[in-house]
Structure 1
């Protein structure tokens, strides 16, 4: 059994309580979650969807994610409450090439589950997985208008390393800066930096 499979089998599903006591289950996304994931993104506020890399309002996008589900390339963790997806956090790996020592992180939560610890919990789970896999860093790319996201990532040890002016366009075609934030995992594991 490979290391990732061992982590997933021994750690999930994970039943937790949010800060207000709301019970939530964390687990990897499964192929049978397609309809729930489509619904999750369908009900996401339009303003939030504008900040995502993919057009999640297109069910074909979700279908492709599900069809191509491969945890060695992208590991999506979902948070469920009463059988409904209320959060989605993903590590995107590049197992070969010059970025094989890192992963890209993406994180979304339903608005009604924010400021209750769900984002922090999902993020900490992905940090723990990345650390256990021996990755050296994880990064996230976000537009600056997500100031609450900046606070969360800074609180969790991410540092802004680049601000690319006018680098991206949202789904409506509006130009935006892109901020790259990185968390260096070797600082926590005691591995030498070099």
Structure 2
């Protein structure tokens, strides 16, 4: 596995993104009934927002996951917690496996996403707010160092719902590095000029 990141191209990437977000496993993404054109419009809005960015994660050049980075102060989160300097919001959607699931793949994706977000020395803490019912992502989040803060009420993601109950969680750079083996942690620490 060799992951790289590139900005989402809304029109060109819509077919692959639609094939992911319209599946039942991605129901918490809120786009199960979306059309391909809905995906184009959503990711065009994100690209034009100035405070929200979407990236396609590639595994040896093949699309494997979607990562979104956003500024919490410009999002609905600003109404439910006191945003701190250096907070960066994140959303993650991993593609369905093309063949047999690879053990540890999703954890590797999450570690790569966290390392990518912490490359920026100004990033002090990653903020997530997955649906409180999404137990799989809560387990993954804790595995990479997130600590739950509490359930918050946010605007609905799913058009069939009135609101979203999200589990607000935070992960500092130190908490993330503490979850890595020394071999994995060395390059991440090096990005901030420290030795282990």
Partner in structure 2 of residue 178 of structure 1:
166
Deviation at 1:148, TM superposition (A): 1.4
Structure 1 segments unaligned to the other structure (5+ residues): 1-16, 18-23
Contact 1:92–1:105 (CA under 8 A) maintained in structure 2: yes
Partner in structure 1 of residue 109 of structure 2:
122
Distance 2:173 2:118 in 1: 6
**Structure 2 counterpart of 1:79, from 57, 60, 85:** 57
Partner in structure 1 of residue 96 of structure 2:
111
Partner in structure 2 of residue 162 of structure 1:
150
The DSSP-based 3-state class of the residue aligned with 2:91 is: strand
Partner in structure 1 of residue 68 of structure 2:
90
**Structure 2 counterpart of 1:51, from 23, 28, 36:** 28
RMSD: 3.8
**Structure 2 counterpart of 1:62, from 32, 35, 40:** 40
Partner in structure 2 of residue 35 of structure 1:
12
Partner in structure 1 of residue 118 of structure 2:
131
**Per residue, is there more strand in 1 or in 2?**
1
Partner in structure 1 of residue 182 of structure 2:
none
Could you tell me the TM-score, scaled by structure 2's length?
Answer: 0.63
Deviation at 1:151, TM superposition (A): 1.0
The DSSP-based 3-state class of the residue aligned with 2:111 is: helix
Deviation at 1:138, TM superposition (A): 0.8
Structure 2 segments unaligned to the other structure (5+ residues): 178-188
Distance 1:115 1:150 in 2: 20
**Per residue, is there more helix in 1 or in 2?**
2
Could you tell me the TM-score, scaled by structure 1's length?
Answer: 0.64
- Report the more deviating stretch, 128-137 or 163-172: 163-172
Contact 2:22–2:32 (CA under 8 A) maintained in structure 1: no
The DSSP-based 3-state class of the residue aligned with 2:123 is: coil
Distance 1:70 1:177 in 2: 27
